[in-house]
Amino acid sequence: MREIIFDTETTGFDPRNGDRLVEIGCVELIDRRETGVTFHAYFNPERDMPAAAEAVHGLSSQFLSDKPLFAARVDELLDFFGDAPLIAHNAAFDFGFVNAELERIGRPPLDMARMCCTVQMARKLHPGAKHSLDALCTRYGIDRSHRIKHGALLDAELLAHLYIEMTGGRQIGLGLASSSAALPTASLLAARRDPARPFREPRPHMASAAELARHAEFVAGLNQPLWLDTV
């Protein structure tokens, strides 16, 4: 199963008030495993960068001035998305900005049915706890020491680790053998043995008659054992 984890950086909180998308980072998962395939792009927002937003992600108007417009890379982005489910932290925010940019250039919006929100997942898993990306990384032991400022690709990579942990962890694909045919044979076990190591027959996993007799003798000699109080 192919899934896309993505994150965005913007000039503010609301595209309806003129805020624009300035960065997007995407990470591909297949069967809950990172493939190493990513998509990352900066966009010229054609407007100034508010100081409060720049303080969050560090992207200045000067830095973005020579970056392509969203329209110039939209086909690459949509090709990367494909028809996969799209996972984001506070996903309605990210979907809102991507769809606003698509609407601006006359392209169909992303189907909201494809949206998976890790904040909503976290609220169900950990009600009453903090659900920020930083707080959840701390809860799941995900190293974020290199996260000085927000960055779309970096945050998408952290979110990919978090999503994997919240959906079963790295062992999600492991299962027990369904038949004795999957178990190692005696000849295979013999082949795996280190020839320099002496072979010892396995010890039977049950007490012998002599051991049981010694145990009964020991128990009989106990002075007022506690378990007799309940008899």
Nearest to 9 by CA among 20, 18, 17, 136: 20
Q: Is 7 annotated as a binding residue?
A: yes
Active-site hit among 89, 131, 150, 161: 150
150 counts as catalytic: yes
Sole residue written with tokens 């495993």:
33
Q: Tell me the C-alpha distance between 8 and 122, whole Å.
A: 19
Q: Is 57 annotated as a binding residue?
A: yes
- DSSP line for 110-140: PPGGGEEEHHHHHHHHSTTS--SHHHHHHHT
Helix, strand or coil for residue 207? coil
Q: Is 9 annotated as a binding residue?
A: yes
What Rg value do the Cα atoms of the chain yield, rounded? 29
Nearest to 152 by CA among 3, 4, 16, 2: 4
30 contact partners, CB below 8 Å, separation of at least 6: 1, 2, 3
87 and 114 Cβ atoms separated by less than 8 Å: no
In the 3-class helix/strand/coil scheme, how is 137-194 assigned residue by residue? HHHCCCCCCCCCCCCHHHHHHHHHHHHHHHCCCCCCCCCCCCCHHHCCCHHHHHHHCC
Beta strand 2-10 pairing with 86-88: parallel
Binding-site residue numbers for a divalent metal cation are: 7, 9, 155
Binding-site residue numbers are: 7, 9, 57, 155
Positions annotated as catalytic residues are 150
